[in-house]
Amino acid sequence: MSLTEQQIERYSRHIILEEVGGVGQEKLLRSKVLIIGAGGLGSPAALYLAAAGVGKIGIIDGDKVDLSNLQRQIIHHTSDVGMEKVKSAADKIRAINPDVTVKTYHQLAMAENIRAIIKSYDFVIDCTDNFGAKFLINDACYFEKIPFSHAGILKFYGQLITILPGKTTCYRCIFNSPPPTDVAPSCSQAGVLGVLPGVIGTLQATEAVKYLLGLGKLLTGTLLTYDALEMDFRAVKLNRNPKCPLCGDEPEITELKDEEQQVCDLKDGKCCN
Amino acid sequence: MKLIVNGQKIESNAGSVVSELLVEQNVKMPDMVSVEVNEQILKRSQFESTQLKDGDKVEFLYFMGGGNVIN
């Protein structure tokens, strides 16, 4: 594959970077990234990967655009309210960059379908907003051995980690299983600062690009935590857990299961102090 | 005893087990937290039994599912 004149111009700022060059840009154009969730995190991730020229972007989301999304889900516009999120996202991706092929999945990621979907991608980005999906994605990527970026956000806080399944610390190494439903309060009232997923989702896209290009040091074995109020980033080193129920020495989880959805209500107080 | 909790040096007057530290540090929902001591993640069942000692590094890692969750 060689770049057209238009592409050389479009991607010139990448090509000028010694560490990327035309070769790197061609690699991006041949790459396939799946974004699970076209919401707060998925929006910036999708926009930046489109701009970067990732050749194929898959997006999974079962939802429609809602007015309350627009405070932070910047890939969706006022005129998109009521539209399927995957269609709204796909339209903007194509508008930014016609080089990108978009595959949309207007459905929820579930145990019965997720492995078949993720198989054909090079990297997955978890942009979901619930624990059940996060554990499912972690497990599915482990079974299919697809590297992925995990992230979560809440109120003024965010965190992310890059996971090379079977090689580096996984989500279950850190968080064994979803928090109990009767204890976890309901997150629908928690709220989130609109700009927050912009930061974290873009960091996820950064990790994806680094992985695809083989550049720099991936955020593996390290949970990056962000406190927007304190403007504090911390990189917490986390080794693989030999007692991890998925990737540890004596695995208990050998197949995918839809974890019970958590309801997490913060009106009474703090989820993360 | 002197501990480093979430990157900060503190003087803890809690007893010497993790569950007591969680109370002292005002972690209101211990079920929403994962605890790492000296770079090893604990099982929840170990919170009551894991002894801390002077100089230990403790991290509280919070479950973050998302800002808008009811599926």
- Region A36-44 average pLDDT: 97
ipTM: 0.88
A184-241 pLDDT, tens digit each: 544 456 789 999 999 999 999 999 999 999 999 999 999 999 999 999 999 999 999 9
pLDDT reported for residue A189: 60
Place of tokens 């004596």: A250
Tell me if chain A has a CB within 8 Å of the CB of B57.
no
The helix (run of H) or strand (run of E) holding residue A173 is helix A171-174
Torsion region of A101: left, alpha or beta (phi above 0 gives left; psi -120 to 50 gives alpha):
beta
Q: Do B32 and A130 touch (CB under 8 A)?
A: no
pLDDT reported for residue A103: 98
- DSSP structure string for A47-105: HHHHHHT-SEEEEE---B--GGGTTT-TT--GGGTTSBHHHHHHHHHHHH-TT-EEEEE
* Mutation site for B-interface testing, chosen from A262, A263, A267 by largest number of B Cβ within 10 Å: A262
Searching chain B, which residue's CA lies closest to the CA of residue A243? B43
CA distance A224 to A206: 13
pLDDT reported for residue B67: 52
| pTM exceeds 0.90 | yes
